A and B are shown apart, each in its own frame.
Chain A
Amino acid sequence: GAVVSQHPSRVICKSGTSVKIECRSLDFQATTMFWYRQFPKQSLMLMATSNEGSKATYEQGVEKDKFLINHASLTLSTLTVTSAHPEDSSFYICSAPAGGANEQFFGPGTRLTVL
């Protein structure tokens, strides 16, 4: 099946700094990727849809200036958490559709901890 990778798997940063998370489709091209946020023991919350070559589409309540998304190529989308604060600490997961029928392939996730 299709493989999606994320880097880094874990990151710890100081409050006020920015953190970039990469999501790559390793063996297929993805014109669309999705970014989710997952709080402990909760479901995935869709943050935004990343579109190759155009602006991302953000879900209601998600600050686009806070969570910058860039989909520069058919295999790479990046999420940058700007001026991170402790409340941004979470598990961030990306996905990309492949194989038809809207099946999503998920990255392994990135655990962000903001001190």
Chain B
Amino acid sequence: AQSVTQLGSHVSVSEGALVLLRCNYSSSVPPYLFWYVQYPNQGLQLLLKYTTGATLVKGINGFEAEFKKSETSFHLTKPSAHMSDAAEYFCAVSDRGGGFKTIFGAGTRLFVKA
């Protein structure tokens, strides 16, 4: 069965500092991998996804993530945090075999200090 572990329920960074949100997955075969962002009282918005090919994936708002098969990780980074990045971030996996079912991590709340 697939699972997703996000290390750290809360991460706090200063504005302009590096953002690193950690995600590890468990799957018998490499799944599709996603990062979603959720602002208060809103649905989720896709930041980026890994399907195949290049393991460094670039997304919206300056975020990127690297798929490391050997480490079963898909950590999310951004070189310089902005106040508007403060939100909840969810890592998610989905089986390539079809069915569309997506499993979400517990989420990491990012705080950005001025």
- Residues of A that sit less than 8 Å from B by CB: 1, 4, 6, 32, 34, 41-44, 46, 49, 91, 93, 95, 97, 100-109, 111
* Chain A residues closer than 8 Å to B42, beta-carbon distance: 108-109
Q: How far is the CB of B59 from chain A (nearest CB, A)?
A: 12
**How far does the alpha carbon of A48 sit from the alpha carbon of B111 in the complex, in Å?**
32
1/0 contact trace for B81-97 toward A, CB 8 Å? 00000000010001110
* Chain B residues closer than 8 Å to A95, beta-carbon distance: 43-44, 102
**How far does the alpha carbon of A108 sit from the alpha carbon of B40 in the complex, in Å?**
10
Q: How far is the CB of A103 from chain B (nearest CB, A)?
A: 6
How large, as a class, is the contact surface on chain B? 20 to 34
Total A-B residue contacts, Cβ distance less than 8 Å? 62
**How far does the alpha carbon of A93 sit from the alpha carbon of B44 in the complex, in Å?**
9
Which of B100, B101, B104, B109 meets A44, CB within 8 Å? B104
Query: Are B49 and A103 in contact, CB atoms less than 8 angstroms apart?
Result: yes
* Chain A residues closer than 8 Å to B43, beta-carbon distance: 4, 6, 93, 95, 106-109
Query: Are B100 and A42 in contact, CB atoms less than 8 angstroms apart?
Result: no
Q: How far is the CB of A71 from chain B (nearest CB, A)?
A: 14
Shortest 9 CB-CB distances between A and B: which pairs? A106-B43, A102-B94, A101-B51, A97-B100, A106-B44, A108-B43, A43-B106, A44-B104, A43-B107
Query: Are B34 and A43 in contact, CB atoms less than 8 angstroms apart?
Result: no
* Chain B residues closer than 8 Å to A102, beta-carbon distance: 32, 94-96, 100, 102
* Chain B residues closer than 8 Å to A97, beta-carbon distance: 100
Chain A to chain B contacts (Cβ below 8 Å), 5 pairs: A34-B100, A43-B105, A93-B43, A103-B34, A106-B36
* Chain A residues closer than 8 Å to B90, beta-carbon distance: 43-44
Q: How far is the CB of B97 from chain A (nearest CB, A)?
A: 10
B41 at the interface (CB under 8 A from A): yes
Q: How far is the CB of A93 from chain B (nearest CB, A)?
A: 6
10 additional contacts (CB under 8 A) given A101-B49, A106-B36, A106-B44: A1-B46, A43-B105, A43-B106, A49-B101, A95-B43, A102-B96, A104-B34, A107-B43, A109-B43, A111-B41
